[in-house]
Structure 1
């Protein structure tokens, strides 16, 4: 009874009935926002009133007063909400979430089926809304990287379910080529930052036009090309010659040209394997598709050449390309400030390389940027804004935690700070393997520390001693000062791998628990409060 009374009080604060359809989105790369705004356009074309809103700016309590809400939400990393949706997600699953017995909803979930937790955030939200009493007007749709058809169908079906529509809805076609504007840049310079290291990392400088505007925290999207030796191996395995042609988009094109520049070959997904199985009809492959663990391991470790080798088949060129995924842009955090370099974009590109099944595998985009393109070569780029990862400009202290190429946006922040665009204290915790080869931008960082631009720097070189040391260990090593910065309102920025981000969160919560003399649940509440205050900023991949 007491809980019900609290919920009524909580709900009354935002009692605002509306006839509008609210289309909410939570996005990392902009795909969810794009679909939400396309949905709004089609709703309006069919005579409905609709608004779009980023969940980062939406109060969960308002759901209790809405009539119809459409939610387009992506999943980031290994099943996590995108950063813009962290606060919404947390509050939706809290005990204070409102009863939603008057709400109708539909969810469009976005993800990448090469990850085990495919579309997890959308699935979670879909079930939670039902738990809170909302009525689902259309089944959740789970969209893979090539989302245009599934998203178009979702919008079409939602329109059909809206009782106010009397006539046949306007045909829906969400065209992804309108998602991000393409700009042309020129490779200006490439420098290996860690000569002698086991994993090359390059500093890549792009020349840009004066109308290309970006901010520190943003990323660049680049569509790569496949390496010719990999394409030749695939052609040989399929018994196709270099001159084999194929009909693609009503044109006759060399198959080799398509495989180099159009399709993903270095990664595979569950959907690709399912499509391939329709052609192969392999009992062994059918068995793999029923074992989730083995399937996920296969997807993580294998590529297109593996699948055509392990499950061989005789197929036409047209049928073969029908199972492939078109290239998706790879995202690289910008490591420069336009205040300092008005006509340049700086990137850090780690060469992705591993050995699997006796064959060296190379990342498509890292190889394209580091080894294929030379200075003077043109390259198409897309701007990927990240409004959740912005430098503090009001004297607020910043703790920047990065591993490997995760230092890139913090170099941009410090360039910006050098130009007088921020005046708060700053602390960098950076981790890599060896100080001799992997201390990226050492001269700049040391100069910034000497001049007081960077107030503190802590380094974690994991292979420089017998026991591995990572940035999370440095956080706990400096626990008292770290907690003091938190209590003084510091914003925490985390950039690196998903696993690193998870370890850093756990280390920060342990610091809050030990230095702050809190229980584990209280430490998690403290972390949650920082999320509510938009003091946690993550760019993990």
Structure 2
């Protein structure tokens, strides 16, 4: 057989194998879709950062003939035809539903009387008892279902995220050791709290831009229990693109009123030395994973929220056909807090960033010409351009503090797009919020 014939045969075999794999994948998806469509036992989740989704998935895998769906995909027809629905829902901020659960409560306005009498249900609610409206969304879902005549299989279960039982030996088994390679303060000399860039070796980790890294501070707390893990937005592109599989974090050093450092931020930025081992695991965060690098992308954030934004900027660098990226980023002092300015300028030169609006909330007045301004001010000022950008199919990605920045941006988008327009972004899964 000639060399050319061997090459042609190899190509045909390769194409045939790829086609076979594609057919198997399609048939599997088709079978799963039919199962989901016909299932009368549904496991539904509403999750902002992934905890409720993971618990729902673990419960779903223990069942047969059930369907697993995000709460915003649970239509009125599916709800009314279901025999049992097990809800796993988190509460966001001060009693808010997660983004993929906001539309669900509107269904109850379309349900009359006790029309859900044939439905059995359970609700497992996740929240943080540090907030006054602990598990508020889960409680609301439980109450509304009861009003419509549905039959609770058990009382409402509330799980407090601030009371993770890390003394369970099985808990730590999911974490692996990574090495601290670099720790650099990004705002040296700043009168405000330090912001640090950390690089970690992560040869055994797999992640996507938008995912979360959970970190366990090694210091024991009461009764020698391990501290609860702290969550940090990953400031890196997908692991498949990252050289040496290094993972980056951006960490704000928390200083308490008594002068003590925050447990996790103090451990990561002050206690850890280069070469030290840190226990971590990746938590997938589908709500903040983008479906396409070709769609336009509006990135909005402030302070340490740059981490989530950097991950997606870096991701676009690896795609020649990536869509335009508009970055609106806020920090404090223009003299000391021009965080990662050189990197952002380089990405602009590479054509990855097509527009950057950088603002500072605590510029010195009147000596400085700079005027204090926030990221939501930029949105309002350029409302027409924001609308045009979103009308072109842009994803909107917000990362940073929920209080202040996150809520102000949400209000600004509602003002610019209208509540219906903002909700359309949520329903189409183009509004991504990585807020803490």
TM-score, normalised with respect to structure 2: 0.82
Greater mean deviation of Cα atoms: 387-396 or 136-145: 387-396
**In the alignment, what sits opposite 2:322?**
423
2:100 and 2:426 in contact (8 A); partners too: no
Which of 86, 109, 113 is matched with 2:129 structurally?
A: 113
2-structure distance, mates of 1:183, 1:217: 20
Distance in 1, Cα, partners of 2:244 & 2:320: 15
Q: SS state of the match for residue 304, structure 2?
A: helix
Residues 422 and 213 (structure 1), Cα distance of their counterparts in 2 relative to 1, 3 Å cut: farther
Match of 2:185 in 1: 192
Matches within 5 A, 1:9-28: 20-28=40-48
Within-5 A mapping of 1:55-204 = 55-87=71-103, 89=104, 91-92=106-107, 95-96=109-110, 99-145=115-161, 177=170, 181-197=174-190, 198-204=192-198
Distance 1:56 1:202 in 2: 37
User: In 2, distance between residues paired with 1:536 and 1:460?
Assistant: 22
Q: 2:429 corresponds to which residue?
A: 534
Structure 1 position 35 matched with structure 2 position 55? yes
Paired with 1:419 and 1:509, the residues of 2 have a C-alpha distance of 33
- The 3-state SS of whatever aligns with 1:413 is helix
Pair 1:461-2:424 in alignment:
no
Q: CA deviation at 1:69?
A: 0.9
Within 5 Å, which residues of 2 pair with 1:350-389?
350-355=252-257, 359-389=258-288
2:225 corresponds, among 250, 262, 265, to: 262
Structure 2 residue aligned with 1:290? none
Q: Deviations over 1:476-532 (max 9, x none)?
A: 1111111111222211111111122111011112223xxxxxxxxxx1111111111
Q: 1:441 aligns with which of 322, 332, 340?
A: 340
Higher relative contact order (CA 8 A, sep 6+): 1
Q: Displacement, 1:102?
A: 2.7
- Tell me the distance in 1 between the aligned counterparts of 2:388 and 2:173: 41
Task: Report the Cα offset of residue 418 of structure 1.
Answer: 1.0
Which residue of 2 is the match for residue 509 of structure 1? 414
The DSSP-based 3-state class of the residue aligned with 2:423 is helix
- Taking a change above 3 Å as real, the CA distance of residues 445 and 32 of structure 1, as seen in their structure-2 partners, is same
TM-score w.r.t. structure 1 length?
A: 0.67
> What are the ranges of 5 or more consecutive residues in structure 2 without an aligned counterpart?
1-33, 366-370
Residue 214 of structure 1 and its aligned partner are, at CA, apart by 0.9
The match for 1:331 is 231
| Residues 360/37 of structure 1: CA separation in 2 closer, same or farther (3 Å cut) | same
Kindly indicate whether the alpha-carbon contact (under 8 Å) linking 1:426 and 1:454 is maintained by their aligned counterparts in 2.
yes
RMSD: 2.7
1:299 alignment counterpart: none
Q: List structure 1 runs of 4+ shifted beyond 6 angstroms.
A: 16-19, 146-149
2:207 match: 214
- Quick one: distance in 2 between partners of 1:261 and 1:25? 34
Query: What corresponds to 2:246 in structure 1?
Result: 344
Question: What is the distance in 2 between the residues matched to 1:407 and 1:130?
Answer: 43
Match of 2:25 in 1: none
Q: How many residues align?
A: 389
In the other structure, the counterpart of 2:21 is: none
